[in-house]
Structure 1
């Protein structure tokens, strides 16, 4: 493929034609006449034509040079407009940010905060997809994704956004009928409302609040929620069993008496990689549009305080016991 002359050479050519001489063009471009002459000579060499007829007092375009100027350099104004528009985006962010958001997190925690972002940046619009199934950002055209658990896809930039504290809950009617578990071992005799993404079901990790070894159980029951994870709360409200949910998502149900927490003397997290943490993903670190970078920074600021940080560490600890592996 033939090399395309760089824009500096083309701008210099246009300036020489507009100003009428190398020295006048050098004054406009704030360079030396020798630098202008060198750029034009290099452009002639790249094109394989003589652009200017030169004399000691004046210059004029050759027929080949005139044809090239009219066909190519005259369009530099449009290129300059495009450059100016791109830079304007940095000064006044505008456009659409497309994001895939974990369903329950987006509805319960993110949407109430978005008004501040849209008020601060009226030129930006948000196109959000609420879905608990991890998506391919690049092929589906998303700028960012928010998902539960640490992703293993090395193609994306991954940032821990927050860790939401979890609670084990059930309806008072269920507990009256089946009894209240006192230890994690007791859950083996209960109907647990489980969750799965694809074919993988989430296990639960229990760490005594007073300290000690953590234990992991693989809950079982007659009701599993796939992909739309906030459905476990509806199942618990219907008395179908005990489930694990974000404390913030069930707080008002607990305060109204519709749900009750159990095993409050334990810190409970998911045993999946990344625990109960929420992660922010985006395809590239460099050359992010200003609107996407602003949205990423907004999300990081929103969920940085202690209300959105889980108590237990994310990583599995030495000495943890998987109860199901022992039976």
Structure 2
């Protein structure tokens, strides 16, 4: 393999868990540099990595081919733009940007420069999402007429991280957890015709949204998306209702937990859910419920990086395109508009 020299633009949680371990263990990548303003945590974890104190130093490093923009949401547009202008390929954390016109500009810039620009929608490689994909692909519940996707937490106090609680245009649950389940809906069911949304501000003293519900309209299908910080006992994260039966699946992917505990994606049994987390399929058998367990697919974020490698070295399609990331941002924008105006918002995709 011809390793892709890669730089991280931060070494917080996403750098430590969702990028560093995968870039470091993948033979197609070399974790070469990091931007840390004052600390040296990456160097302690990965001896030999180059630590830079400014973004300009990172982008001036001619060895770097790929920059991972894993910084606060409101910085994504600016840092992506600077990286592309410096001739670097870019992976950007979700959300792609906070304004759709900025996303369109970055897509045009990447095309103009002949560079790859991808959004890190890693939850496509969660065990639960991959299991839902298989259930739909195999038609186990028949024709789906209704579906629901949840990403809920119980976290009723404000975050100590200022960038998560300031009304900076990229904070709030709709821009934080929303892209995960919006992207899931778009991957499972395609682009909707319209939406209706209710966005709420529930925690005492909050300046940013902390609960939302979005109803996506498709021909013959409605998909409900929900995320909130007041859900102590969550409903199944994926719910499919069809003319043959129902499928329910909890959010049980183990990768984040295992990464927090120091496991690596090269460890044996990576991404396998524990016993008891199987999905529940309930079919109708002449009016009698016929429940059965559906084993979960293995989760593996390594597949995203496999796709990035094939794209940069073999000209394959990106595992997540910037256009797909832009569609998510447009849904977020339409949801805010719908909630503010109290109306159904049509969506035009051409």
Q: TM-score per shorter chain, which class?
A: under 0.3
Q: Give the TM-score normalised by the residue count of structure 1.
A: 0.20
TM-score by length of 2: 0.19
State which structure, 1 or 2, has the greater radius of gyration over its C-alpha atoms.
Answer: 1
Indicate the structure with greater helix content.
1
